[in-house]
Amino acid sequence: MRILVVGSGGVGAAVAAIAERRPFFERMVLADVSPARAQAAVGALRDPARFGVAQVDATDRAALVELIRAERADVVLNACDPWLNPPIFAAAGEAGCTYLDMAMTLSQRHPERPFEQVGVMLGEAQFAEHAAWEADGRLALVGIGVEPGLSDVFARHAADELFSEIDEVNVRDGADLVVRGYDFAPTFSIWTTIEECLNPPLIWERERGWFVTEPFSEPEVFDFPEGIGPVECVNVEHEEVVLVPRWVQCRRVTFKYGLGDEFIAVLKTLQMLGLDSTEPVSVRGHPVSPRDVVAAALPDPASLGDRMSGRTCAGTLVTGSGRDGRPRKTYLYHVVDNEQVMRDYGHQAVVWQTAINPVIAMELLAEGAWSGTGVLGPEAFPAAPFLALLAEYGAPHGVQERPPAQA
């Protein structure tokens, strides 16, 4: 397998660090608009012999196609912010490659009633191409990070192995991470964080289909495992709500994120000041995107690992009837300790936890354990080989049974 990774920031660099320990690929090229950034990622590897570096502008579809063909890539992994999905997705399709991403094409709010009516949903532009990809015998595996990604694998595993009937699939994400020396320092792309947190959150119910709520709605305190403890979580727009109902039979799907009051207050302030906007404004005669300014002013999340401590938890709480027909509530989760992954891989916990999942997916595709055509989410594939390989990578998931009556 020959792999082209487009984007060599925190997640792209972590993909290389994880993949270099596995034999399933022949060559992996990290491509970036900044060749110096790609070279730094490859230069940090212990054995870079199978790796290469390329310069490419991810907005330039023709240049991407040319690079894919020059590298004879079998797989294109999109490790860029999701606003760059359309040209990368299209280039992989034109070049006849397998495509993977960790976040789907962006949503668009309903123009008149954004918090009452669904507009264009996450990933809708990609699913619109399903028939074309299927007809050409090509695979686009979308949303294969940690959330979406591993959380979706958990939902499929619950349906296949743990439950006879599923009532709710509720993704819950929380952490006790601390970044020393900063009053405000997001541990993941602030561009993406602003997008998903300030958009109308999606909920899916069998009787209603997809509907939206206000940002940060329906707060609940969720008790996270392995010492993280109680964290208040709120509704956030996320791909799992789009993906899970397509392949997992259930009654309801939600996503809630443990942001914290301070983080929510900052996001609301950015929105109030118009600094969440991606529309350029004129600054001394130059067009500038306010959100890009915010991102540039904050520290690069990939650089924060040495200042971070604590753990991050991604998981899926599934309720319904177990295989024995009795009520069951199970939290399937994955915890990553920042100190451990910094010591073992040199990458901070949040980007590392995102990066390990597309690497595992690519290995399963290389082995033939996963296969398919069209635009598919992680739920479309059997979960057992993925979870087995996750454990083989030294990062097994956890399973926590909870009293069915307990929220």
CA atoms within 13 A on the CB side of 405: 0
pLDDT for residue 144:
98
CATH class of 2-101: alpha beta
Domain ranges of the chain: 2-101, 150-350+396-402
In angstroms, rounded to a whole number, what is the distance separating the alpha carbons of residues 110 and 107? Answer: 10
pLDDT for residue 407:
41
Cα angle vertex 385, ends 382, 388, to 5°?
A: 140
pLDDT for residue 37:
95
What residue has token string 């296969």?
Answer: 371
In angstroms, rounded to a whole number, what is the distance separating the alpha carbons of residues 98 and 73? Answer: 9
In angstroms, rounded to a whole number, what is the distance separating the alpha carbons of residues 344 and 360? Answer: 18
Condensed to tens digits (0 to 9), the pLDDT of residues 4-35 reads: 999 999 999 999 999 999 999 999 999 999 99
Two structure tokens written together for 215:
């940002």
pLDDT for residue 301:
85
CA atoms within 13 A on the CB side of 216: 14
Low-confidence ranges of the chain (pLDDT < 70): 406-407
pLDDT for residue 263:
87
- Burial (CB count within 10 angstroms: exposed 0-12, middle 13-18, buried 19+), residue 80: buried
Condensed to tens digits (0 to 9), the pLDDT of residues 350-406 reads: 999 999 999 999 999 999 999 999 999 999 999 999 999 999 999 999 999 999 974
pLDDT for residue 129:
97
User: What does the H/E/C string look like for the chain?
Assistant: CEEEEECCCHHHHHHHHHHCCCCCCCEEEEEECCHHHHHHHHHCCCCHHHEEEEECCCCCHHHHHHHHHHHCCCEEEECCCHHHHHHHHHHHHHHCCEEEECCCCCCECCCCCCCCCCCECCCHHHHCCHHHHHHCCCEEECCCECCCEHHHHHHHHHHHHHEEEEEEEEEEEEECCEECCCCCCCCCCHHHHHHHHHCCCEEEECCCEEEECCCCCCCEEEEECCCCEEEEEEECCCCHHHHHHHHCCCCEEEEEECCCHHHHHHHHHHHHCCCCCCCCEEECCEEECHHHHHHHHCCCHHHCHHHEECEEEEEEEEEEEECCCCEEEEEEEEEEEHHHHHHHHCCCHHHHHHHHHHHHHHHHHHHCCCCCCEEECHHHCCHHHHHHHHHHCCCCCEEEEECCCCC
In angstroms, rounded to a whole number, what is the distance separating the alpha carbons of residues 71 and 291? Answer: 34
CATH class of 150-350+396-402: alpha beta
pLDDT for residue 187:
82
